[in-house]
Structure 1
């Protein structure tokens, strides 16, 4: 092939010397070789996992257990997670990127808790980017344990071509294994990956009860960590050859400053009654990290709508504020896996106006 090309060039362009022809021949050879060059083999694997579910189902705690690190802020109240954030877990040649999304809410809840518009947008965008979808369902809630939320089902229907798995969370609360099996059958419409689950099942004629296309079902306790290793192994197994999204040492896309503020907000939700913590605005005044040791020193001002609320948060002789500070410091040390010293002060916006 190449000799024929050279011959044609020689016949039509007699003024071209032999050296030029040889150089041209080498160029053609390289171009052909590059055209048929086999694709590079990727030696790393990647899996993007969207975690969805109703508010307070345990999504953040679930991710923290999988990561073995307190990446996501958690509390006993709803809407602790206010926007989507990434948790990155790298083991061996596999990188698992978890997207912790806000709990699915309706318009009434958004207005009640003064929630951002991102609450609905983040869940939808996360599912579009994900390779697999994980649904966290709280079986400890007696009112909703036997039905998947309609908002969850609608999202799954929009992405039915993507694999999904169901995580029954807080199973340690249920003492009856039979009850747990019945709940599983209802939530999956007695199907796993589109195939009927063996055994007797009394179908309840109710629309939008469950989802029949889950690829796998896990029963876990995010609080104790029971069942978490099985989920971790499943995700690593499903990672596909691809380049990592982040360096191996990266464990979140959040800035350290944002992690501090989220930890403060989550702790306030735990320590304060009713809707008071939703009116508070933590602001970072100081953040310093030692480049050699990784030690962190930070200061946060919590702005309150009134002096009365500021005193309520601080408690008698600042006793409650000391407890809040200690809890935040402990949580941040679990997140950064390093020493953290934090100072939290209360500031009344009402006082600033006078």
Structure 2
């Protein structure tokens, strides 16, 4: 696999220059931006798209008004209104510097690590994006869009909330049967080990799964019962009968929230295949996850009912999380929004579109390789990625009639990346058969 090209050289000198100060770094930052030569058209299908937006500042390694430049004290152009801050630095080494920078903590800092758990496609990444205010995590209607743990950071005043957006929790049997990445099995459990709070998401629009917590989620909650947890009923806007929420609340909490019995029996409307406990148990720990009667968790501290797509709904949850932050040092500078590398963000965005537009198992068989990641002669970000497919039929599907599908994917990915990096983006996607 060819390594992604980074324009210019002298990265070590650039890092040393940043340590000396922004003035010393300017010459090296500018030196890392030679013009890009013509690219060879040696692929099955190549699509290039450019988007109009703020140019990469020639004296800034991270783009106009970047988080890294503000940290290092590089003067920003005086413009009104002030541009948004990029969600991540444009290059991997700059993002690494930003993540390693000493947190700019207030006098009384508070911090909270939050693990988001739920079945596949429960809406964890959508909720994370809404909490962060930027679409930095991939989202699609197909399962297993998130392939490994991703980290987001919310910083407001003295509080910092670290979101651990995990893959949909699955069983070892399913992981082996479908040859899925080991990260899909391991990352949710790793997140629990460092979490201060667990947010359990349930998709209430799915009538086949909403009447009980995912067995693997229950197993995880039981093993880490010392970690406080809250229940979030997601996609409530899809319910025609809101009374269903009362039933689900009783079932999924076993009638107990924050140690108190719920008094909602009169509003309860039973349905087939739905279990409602006759009363709250005196010792809920006596139940075992293996017990087929257990479908809920009686130790949730709070319940939230929302649509992750609704900003006002999510604000209530966000304020709650910020209020739960406990005294302690921040882990990141306030300029950090995500720990993802820029190439990782791009790869995830392309995968998001593949899952959205390709049928059935086709998107899961596509392998991605980034070949070019550099700045173009006009200051735009130039990206080239190969999409490798195992079958000729998959290649034809991905390219689409007269190349329309691959062109549409490139255009949408480019627009998303422009919104994340706040610079012009020209992306070329090449489709090839896997040898």
TM-score (norm 1): 0.82
| 1:120 maps to 2:191 | no
Higher-RCO chain (CA-CA 8 Å, sequence separation at least 6): 2
Residues paired across the two proteins, number: 308
| 1:204 maps to 2:276 | yes
| 1:46 maps to 2:111 | yes
Higher Rg: 1
Contact 2:387 2:429 in 1 (8 A): yes
Residue among 213, 231, 235 paired with 1:166 = 231
Contact 2:152 2:337 in 1 (8 A): yes
Q: Deviations over 1:182-236 (max 9, x none)?
A: 1111111111112101232666366121111111111111123351000000000
User: Cα–Cα, structure 1 residues 316 and 157, in superposed 2: closer, same or farther, change >3 Å?
Assistant: same
| 1:179-198 map, 5 Å | 179-198=244-263
| 1:265 maps to 2:337 | no
Shift of 1:42: 5.3
Residue among 311, 314, 321 paired with 1:235 = 321
User: Cα–Cα, structure 1 residues 42 and 101, in superposed 2: closer, same or farther, change >3 Å?
Assistant: same
Alpha-carbon distance in 2 for matches of 1:324, 1:284: 16
Alpha-carbon distance in 1 for matches of 2:169, 2:327: 32
| 1:309 maps to 2:381 | no
* Aligned residue in 1 for 2:406: 321
Secondary structure of the residue that 2:300 maps to in structure 1? coil
Contact 1:150 1:208 in 2 (8 A): no
Alpha-carbon distance in 1 for matches of 2:424, 2:213: 41
User: Cα–Cα, structure 1 residues 118 and 207, in superposed 2: closer, same or farther, change >3 Å?
Assistant: same
Alpha-carbon distance in 1 for matches of 2:179, 2:417: 26
Alpha-carbon distance in 1 for matches of 2:110, 2:355: 38
Q: Which moved more, 1:63-72 or 1:111-120?
A: 111-120
Alpha-carbon distance in 2 for matches of 1:78, 1:171: 20
Give me the CA root mean square deviation: 2.0
* Aligned residue in 2 for 1:12: none
Shift of 1:289: 5.2
Alpha-carbon distance in 2 for matches of 1:239, 1:338: 34
| 1:151 maps to 2:237 | no
- Larger fraction in helix: 1
Residue among 215, 230, 250 paired with 2:301 = 215
User: Cα–Cα, structure 1 residues 217 and 333, in superposed 2: closer, same or farther, change >3 Å?
Assistant: farther
Residue among 357, 364, 367 paired with 1:278 = 364
User: Cα–Cα, structure 1 residues 79 and 300, in superposed 2: closer, same or farther, change >3 Å?
Assistant: same
Contact 1:42 1:241 in 2 (8 A): no
Q: Which moved more, 1:169-178 or 1:103-112?
A: 103-112
Residue among 408, 415, 427 paired with 1:330 = 415
Shift of 1:333: 2.9
Contact 2:254 2:276 in 1 (8 A): no
Alpha-carbon distance in 2 for matches of 1:42, 1:115: 45
| 1:109 maps to 2:202 | no
* Aligned residue in 2 for 1:82: 147
Secondary structure of the residue that 1:215 maps to in structure 2? strand
Alpha-carbon distance in 1 for matches of 2:310, 2:177: 32
User: Cα–Cα, structure 1 residues 223 and 318, in superposed 2: closer, same or farther, change >3 Å?
Assistant: same
Contact 1:220 1:226 in 2 (8 A): no
Q: Deviations over 1:13-62 (max 9, x none)?
A: xxxxxxxxxxxxxxxxxxxxxxxxxxxx9521111000010001110001
Secondary structure of the residue that 2:121 maps to in structure 1? coil
Secondary structure of the residue that 2:219 maps to in structure 1? helix
